Amino acid sequence: MSTDPVIDPKALELLRSLDQDRPGAMIELVRLFIADAPVQMQRVEEGYRDRDGEQVRQAAHFLRSGALALGLTGMIETSQVIEHLDVARYGEPTSEAALAALRVESRNAVVALLSVVDSL
């Protein structure tokens, strides 16, 4: 189990400085991600189930992009793994484990971001 923080403290500080320049910007970015991440995660799940590699790639790419912008360290790597999965490997134990890891990281990211919003 990783002991790395869910949110990179440097990224969080950068987001807070953005908020100083444009009040409300940080919370707006966080809320957008919190609202859309579950939708994208569902798209990943459906695409995986339907063996629709393009849908999986697009949704995982969205998750990775948001994770990069918000400094969600665990989600960056796991979404990249899913984004680059070969459709022929869907259903294999390593792919199933990667998908399970993305579920966990997605949940952890939303919980961590909610605590950031609560602290503002």
Indicate the burial class of 10 (C-beta count within 10 angstroms; 0-12, 13-18, 19 or more).
Answer: exposed
The pLDDT, as a whole number, for residue 26 is: 87
Q: Please, what sign has the CA dihedral across residues 90, 58, 115, 20?
A: positive
- pLDDT-derived band at 20 (thresholds 50, 70, 90) equals confident
pTM for the model stands at: 0.87
The pLDDT, as a whole number, for residue 100 is: 97
